[in-house]
Amino acid sequence: MEILQRLWEGLLATTPLEFIAVAFGIASVMFSRMENIWVYPTGIVNTTIYIYLSIIAGLYAEAGVNFYYTVMSVVGWVLWARKREGEKVLHITRSSQREWVIALTFFGLCWAILFFILKKFTDSTVPVADGFASAAAYTGMWLMARKKLENWLWWIVTNIASIPLYFVKGFVFTSFQYLVFLVLAILGYVEWRRKLRG
C-alpha cells in the first residue's frame, strides 16, 4: 500500500513541465520504433526539458546524458535524413563483433568516469545508479543514431535502471514513463529485428 500511496502522491506532485516531457518522450520512442524521423524533433523537446528537471533533482549524469541526447538527436536527424545523390539512406544493421566490443568498452568507460565525477565533485546521493543508467543511455543513443539493432538492448537496460532511479528522486510520472519506454524498447527490438530479417 505504501508504494501505491507514493505513486498517488508523486502523480499529484507532477509538474506540467514533467507531463509535457513525458508526452514528448513517449512520442519519440514510438516514432523510433516506427523508424520515423520525427523521433528526433520530439526527442529534442523531451531531452531539453529533462536537462532542467535532472539538475533540480540532483541527477547530474542524467542531465549530462540528456544534453548528449539533444546533440545526438541533431546528428541522428541529419544521418537519417541524408538523401544526397550517391549516398545511401541509413538502414537498420546489426553490430559486428568489433562494434559490440567498442560499445561495451564505451559503456564501461562512461560508467567509471561518471561514477568518479559524481562521487568526487557532486552531492549526488545515487552515483552508482545515476552513472550506470546514463552510461547505458549514452551507448544506446550512439547506436540508435547509426540505426544499429542493438540500440534497443541498451535502451532496455537503461529503462530498467531508470525506473527506480527516478522513483526514489520523487519523479513518479517519469518513472512511469520509463516503464512505458521499457515496453516500447522490447517492442522496438522485436520490430527492428523483423525488419532486418526482411
pLDDT at 82: 74
Angle, helix 172-197 to helix 2-13, in steps of 10 degrees: 90
Beta bridge partner(s), residue 148: 93
- The conformational region for residue 82 under phi > 0 = left, psi -120 to 50 = alpha, else beta, is beta
CB 107 within 8 A of CB 139: yes
The one-character DSSP state at 94 is P
pTM here is 0.85
pLDDT at 100: 98
What are the mean pLDDT values of the chain's consecutive 10-residue runs (198 residues total)? 79 90 94 90 96 94 92 87 67 96 98 96 94 95 91 98 92 91 96 92
pLDDT at 4: 79
How far out from the chain centre does Cα 126 lie? 18
The CA distance from 179 to 69, in Å, is 19
